[in-house]
């Protein structure tokens, strides 16, 4: 089985799995507590502190492990919300059409005309600062991108002969959306899934860096970059380590997404007649 998987996909699967396992078992893997001060400020890497310490003398490795759990957990939830909302509304708008399609599309255009980061900063500065609000804001704002993709793909599929045949058989709109259009729209949606997840990781990191994401003493990678950015002036790599983790996660997820996209494309030919 593994002989048929390209080496790039194996590397991506391995690294992504390591990140997910680290996030899942963070309390058991971290050598120290999340906010526990265990040494001096910005101590170098050593046998005691594998990645050194941060700006408050906390173990950087422990903070990275707990930060992985926070970053990945929030990004996954926000991505799930964006795809659930965006895909359903996009496919529905394409099938029903008319005033509903026009209303949803113009509303999405309005939201997308405002820079996402600025919109999020304004909304988060007004709404209560908690984890649920952060996840909902991230998911709903990103759902506009998913909506546009899902609707564009569904409009093309909606005029195909097998969809018209389903209508002539008397199938309802729900059946057509979930049994005819959605299976044939999976290829671009799966490709977009990896990109949206990485966008959510970067989005969360940017919000935390600007002070409206995860609040101290909780850790996420973007907040850790902010906390340790002053150390770069003195040649201390504490801020570069979480930045590198974000980059590695982005690359590994994209490698997996590319492999899944290729497999889905190969299998797609047999779905259109089902």
Tens digits of per-residue pLDDT, 112-148?
888 888 888 888 888 887 889 999 999 999 999 999 9
- Cβ atoms of 181 and 95 closer than 8 Å: yes
Which residue in 249, 223, 225, 248 sits closest to 237, CA to CA?
Answer: 225
The two structure tokens encoding residue 179: 């049994």
pLDDT (average), residues 58-78 = 93
Phi and psi of 254, rounded to 5°? -65, -35
pTM for the full model?
0.86
Per-residue confidence (pLDDT) for residue 272, from 0 to 100: 44
Per-residue confidence (pLDDT) for residue 65, from 0 to 100: 94
pLDDT more than 70, % of the chain? 95
Residue 264 banded pLDDT, cuts 50, 70, 90: low
**Neighbouring-strand partners of residue 8:** none
Has residue 205 got a pLDDT over 70?
yes
Residue 96: count other Cβ atoms within 10 Å of its Cβ. Answer: 13
Domains recognised in the chain with CATH numbers: 6-268 (1.10.3720.10)
Angstrom distance (rounded) from CA 155 to CA 150? 9
Lowest mean pLDDT among 28-37, 59-68, 209-218: 209-218
Residue 176 banded pLDDT, cuts 50, 70, 90: confident
As a whole number of Å, the end-to-end CA separation of the chain is: 27
The two structure tokens encoding residue 69: 């759990």
Per-residue confidence (pLDDT) for residue 166, from 0 to 100: 77
């Amino acid at each position: 089985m593994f002989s048929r998987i390209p080496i790039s996909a194996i590397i991506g699967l391995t690294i992504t799995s390591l990140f997910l396992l680290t996030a899942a078992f963070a309390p058991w893997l971290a050598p120290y507590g999340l906010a526990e001060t265990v040494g001096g400020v910005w101590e170098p890497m050593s046998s005691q502190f594998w990645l050194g310490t941060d700006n408050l003398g906390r173990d950087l490795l422990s903070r990275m492990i707990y930060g992985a759990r926070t970053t990945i957990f929030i990004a996954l939830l926000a991505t799930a919300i964006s795809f659930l909302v965006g895909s359903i509304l996009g496919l529905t708008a394409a099938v029903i059409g008319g005033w509903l399609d026009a209303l949803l599309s113009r509303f999405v255009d309005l939201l997308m005309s405002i820079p996402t980061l600025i919109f999020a900063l304004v909304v988060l500065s007004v709404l209560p600062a908690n984890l649920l609000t952060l996840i909902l804001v991230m998911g709903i704002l990103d759902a506009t991108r998913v909506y546009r993709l899902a609707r564009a793909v569904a409009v093309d599929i909606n005029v195909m002969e097998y969809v018209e045949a389903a209508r002539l058989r008397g199938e309802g709109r729900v059946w057509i959306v979930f049994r005819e259009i959605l299976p044939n729209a999976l290829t671009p949606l799966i490709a977009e899934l990896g990109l949206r997840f990485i966008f959510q990781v970067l989005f969360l990191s940017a919000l935390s860096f600007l002070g409206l994401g995860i609040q101290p003493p909780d850790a996420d990678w973007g907040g850790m970059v902010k906390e340790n950015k002053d150390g770069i002036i003195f040649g201390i790599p504490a801020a570069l380590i979480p930045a590198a983790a974000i980059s590695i996660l982005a690359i590994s997820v994209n490698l997996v997404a590319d492999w899944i996209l290729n497999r889905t494309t190969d299998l797609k030919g047999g779905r259109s007649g089902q």
